[in-house]
Amino acid sequence: MPSDATPQSPLPGPARRDVVRGAAAGAVVTTATLAPFATSPAHAAPTTGFLHGVASGDPLPTSVVLWTRVTPNADATPGSGRGSRVSVAWEVATDASFAKVVRRGSTATGTERDHTVKVDATGLKPGTRYAYRFRSRGHVSPVGWTRTAPAASATPSRLRVGVVSCSNWEAGYFAAYRHLADRGDLDVVLHLGDYLYEYPTGEYGAAKGAVRASEPAHEIVTLADYRVRHGHYKTDPDLQRLHAAAAWVTTWDDHESANDAWIDGADNHQPESEGSWADRAAAARRAYDEWMPIRLSGTSALGDGSQVYRQLSFGTLADLRMLDLRSYRSEQASPGALGAVGDADRTILGDGQMAWLKQSLSDSSATWKLVGNPAMISPVTFGAVDVEVGQALHDMGGILPPEGIPYNVDQWDGYTADRRELIDHLADHAITNTVFLTGDIHSAWACDLPKNVGTYPFSKSVAVEWVGTSVTSNNLDDILKVAPRTVSLSVEGAIRTANPHVRYLDFDRHGYSVLTLTPARAQMDWYVLADRTDPDSAARWSAGFETLPGTQRTRRVWYPAS
């Protein structure tokens, strides 16, 4: 929603699914409204005001999206369609006390946007950390912190990114978000999809059932349902804490709408009882636009839209492309027709997004070319042969997939023509230092992306891929309800033996990752929770992998990036 702000002149600023299923912390966020504006009795849970925290996202060099949700009346709960239209003021400052306000404005919100607020704070300085807050009807929101992107010509000495995905409310607590927020050194948070889950309460929780119940209790299908679920997630204190700690860059995967979604439907959608898929998908996307700090129009402007794929830049050090692998893809291949995964008319990106992605990679002069990728692109197959031979056999009427039997056709392995087109583009245009950052499969992976999977490691790699674990969503052990490492070790061994480009694999853990970029190297560090069902869970560093400029290979490191 555009702002009707009358901004001040800027002042100088200080120098972040189920495949196996089958800033010191205290300065980061103020969790209560500020005392002069507080209206709720001491120790009583407030029923009006800014109950869902604040967030920022999609930072550009001179602007950033600011988000909140105001509850003007006690009955104006998310999805209710109730509550009065209100004016909300916002301000951005270079200090925590807001003595140095550099931009301010106001906007209005009401039931048409579920009382959410999203403004683009413009006229800011590049590479600068700012505090922001909102005011309405005597309430003052928690304070959030954000950072604008570096200037296009700047070369930051370091960029640090929190990487998360697959955060199922019922499967545990969001301690991973708390640990990321407490770091105090993140430039941005990357969420790679499955920010929320659509299932009814009890259908998809932890190994022993739901750790905590979702709202609404039923499967979400309508616009009101999606609004309620978004609002419920944003009552989590650790989620609020990380949103207020740094700007987020997000994309959706399937569970923001329904499991295993594709352009015309989803595995978890039954038209006979749940209505039109087009209506459900539109409702899911509208709620996502309302409740997330994202420019969803596909441009730098705000406004209701459906295009989530976009590019952000961080000076000359890195640029980031966020993909949408649900809105344009063909239906997944059926188990009885796996040969279809190689058909040239099947797509995971769609023609428009593919053209945009290839052009974006070709045009980039950044040291690191990052791709936010909601589903794994590296091949995970059995019986891989030379790609050209396999494709020729497929084109001659062969019934087998051209690049080996896929582990999971919901990944890029189910759409090998698109993957081949993209890999060939990287190779043919000598595009180097591409790093795919991936979520979705509730496990940790470090992979080289081979030009020819059937001849690797004798053939070259064109990129690397690092896959993060889930925040809470079930991993292999959770699905099988067995102790860690009792089954996964043998599965990991079989996968790595058949796929030597897979350099690291961990099927057992939950947590988060941290990506550190410098001009000389990129490193991904995985951190794992002691217990996802414990809101106070500890976390520890588990593994690290790096890649160096020009190598297109990943290798293990033995210490987290400093």
Residue 278 tokens, joined: 């087009």
Please give the mean pLDDT across all residues of the chain.
Answer: 90
Across the range 86-114, mean pLDDT stands at 97
| Cα distance between residue 400 and residue 342, in whole Å | 9
Is the pLDDT at 227 greater than 90? The verdict is yes
Would residue 440 be called left, alpha or beta, if left means φ above 0 and alpha means ψ between -120 and 50 degrees? Answer: left
Question: Percent of the chain at pLDDT above 90?
Answer: 80
The reported pLDDT for the residue numbered 488 is: 85
The reported pLDDT for the residue numbered 305 is: 73
Is the pLDDT at 179 greater than 80? The verdict is yes
Is the pLDDT at 496 greater than 60? The verdict is yes
In the chain, what are the domain boundaries? 1-15+23-148, 149-557
| Strand 101-109 to 86-93 pairing | antiparallel
What confidence tier does 396 reach under pLDDT thresholds 50, 70, 90? low
The reported pLDDT for the residue numbered 388 is: 72
The reported pLDDT for the residue numbered 147 is: 98
Run of H or E residues at 88: strand 86-93
Q: 50-64, 107-121, 287-301: which has the minimum mean pLDDT?
A: 287-301
**SS3 category, 446:** strand
Q: 130-139, 393-402, 501-510, 528-537: which has the minimum mean pLDDT?
A: 393-402
| Cα distance between residue 312 and residue 234, in whole Å | 25
The reported pLDDT for the residue numbered 304 is: 65
Whether cis (ω within 30° of 0) applies to the bond prior to 535 is no
DSSP string of 57-105, one letter each residue: E---SS-EEEEEE-B-STT--TTS--S--EEEEEEEESSTT-SSEEEEE
137 phi and psi, to 5 degrees? Answer: 50, 45
The reported pLDDT for the residue numbered 42 is: 53
**pLDDT tens profile 237-277:** 999 999 999 999 999 999 999 999 999 999 999 999 999 99
Question: Nearest Cα to 514, choosing from 127, 144, 237, 188?
Answer: 188
Is the pLDDT at 8 greater than 80? The verdict is no
The reported pLDDT for the residue numbered 43 is: 63
| Cα distance between residue 206 and residue 202, in whole Å | 9
Decide: 405 and 381 in contact? Cβ < 8 Å: yes
What confidence tier does 31 reach under pLDDT thresholds 50, 70, 90? very low
What confidence tier does 390 reach under pLDDT thresholds 50, 70, 90? low
Torsion angle (degrees, nearest 10) of CA 561, 550, 351, 393: -110
**pLDDT tens profile 444-494:** 999 999 999 989 998 899 999 999 999 999 998 888 888 888 888 888 999
The reported pLDDT for the residue numbered 389 is: 59
CATH code of the domain occupying 1-15+23-148: 2.60.40.380
| Cα distance between residue 517 and residue 157, in whole Å | 8
Is the pLDDT at 278 greater than 70? The verdict is yes
The reported pLDDT for the residue numbered 208 is: 82
Place of tokens 């969803």: 296
Q: Does domain 149-557 have CATH number 3.60.21.70?
A: yes
The reported pLDDT for the residue numbered 14 is: 32
pTM over 0.85: yes
393 or 454, greater pLDDT: 454
The reported pLDDT for the residue numbered 395 is: 66
HSE at residue 297, side-chain half, CA atoms within 13 A, is 9
**pLDDT tens profile 501-556:** 999 999 999 999 999 999 999 999 999 999 999 999 999 999 999 999 999 999 99
Question: Nearest Cα to 389, choosing from 457, 456, 461, 452?
Answer: 452
